[in-house]
Amino acid sequence: MTSPISRGCVLLTGADGFTGVYARAELEAAGYTVIGAVMGQPQNAQQVALDITSLDDCRAVMEQVRPDYLMHLAGISFVQHADAEAFYRVNVIGTLNLLQAMADAGLSPKRILIASSANIYGNAAEGILSESQPPAPINHYAVSKLAMEHMVRTWTDRLPIVITRPFNYTGIGQAPHFLVPKIVSHFTRHEAYIELGNLDVERDFSDVRMVARAYRGLLEHECSGETVNICSGRPYSLAGIINRMEAICGYKIEVRVNPAFVRASEVKTLLGSPDKLHALLGELPFLPLEETLRWMVGA
């Protein structure tokens, strides 16, 4: 029996991260060979060690793997990360190193997907945010992602790059310090109360499996030079998430506002327009937040 022919080799940075695990599964199911770049020791032949802050490391990996595609998901994504400088060293310089290394290796990739963030829109709370919304970042994470976007655009005449701006998304495996996993874990442990910060925030939540599907679709689509929101277009309030979890788990939880969790620069509303995403890829299967929450509770 012959092995199926690969649709190409994808170098996936952040392969052992939350999103990377689902991106790998999505790509492999579609017939791609995936080489995951990870920090630390590789666990198998489908992984390579890579510190993206080292240009020498990036060059060595590009020469070794010689990928047909690059899906760049690695970066510091926790907004409250303590080391401000690290945002720029990893998110900006790390991305630059990858692009420079591809050019130095003489590669002609079919597509490069680079994950930015909807946080670059800042506190723009009126209406639905499209890709033409002027950026207004309000923290180091968002500023580093916007700086990365500007740097990446200096390469679009040489490399086929698409930039994605994912809004909030969640699922099994997301780190417990993120909002939805924290809420789910409190309910699954049947805690009497939960301490949260700003209760009036609204977020556009997607399921991580939809995000992985969108990333694979953009890798395959002729969309070089584009910037694309990854979002559902549906707002969910914090109170609404609590209400859904109470219905799923069958009990009410006391919500306490902890002033230590209240951010002065909190983005109040982040609601994205998925119109461009749908125009490029068609309507992606929508997974309601209730379904995602039930999936997480059952894990």
DSSP 71: E
Cβ atoms 165, 227 nearer than 8 A: yes
Measure Cα distances from 192 to 5, 122, 188, 254, 262 in Å. 54, 34, 11, 6, 21
User: Which residue reads 């992602």 in tokens?
Assistant: 145
Measure Cα distances from 20 to 32, 237, 260, 278 in Å. 14, 27, 31, 22
Active site residue 69: no
Cβ atoms 167, 120 nearer than 8 A: no
Choosing from 22, 32, 141, 169, which is the catalytic residue?
A: 141
Contacts of 257 (CB under 8 A, 6+ apart): 195, 196, 197, 199
Q: 89 by DSSP, 3-state: which? A: helix
Host H or E run for residue 186? helix 179-188
Measure Cα distances from 276 to 196, 218, 243, 280 in Å. 34, 11, 31, 6
Going 59 to 147 to 47 to 29, the CA torsion angle's sign is negative
DSSP states along 193-225: EEEES-SS-EEE-EEHHHHHHHHHHHHHSS-TT
Instruction: State both tokens at 144.
Output: 């580093």
User: Which residue reads 């559902």 in tokens?
Assistant: 232
User: What residues are annotated to the active site?
Assistant: 141
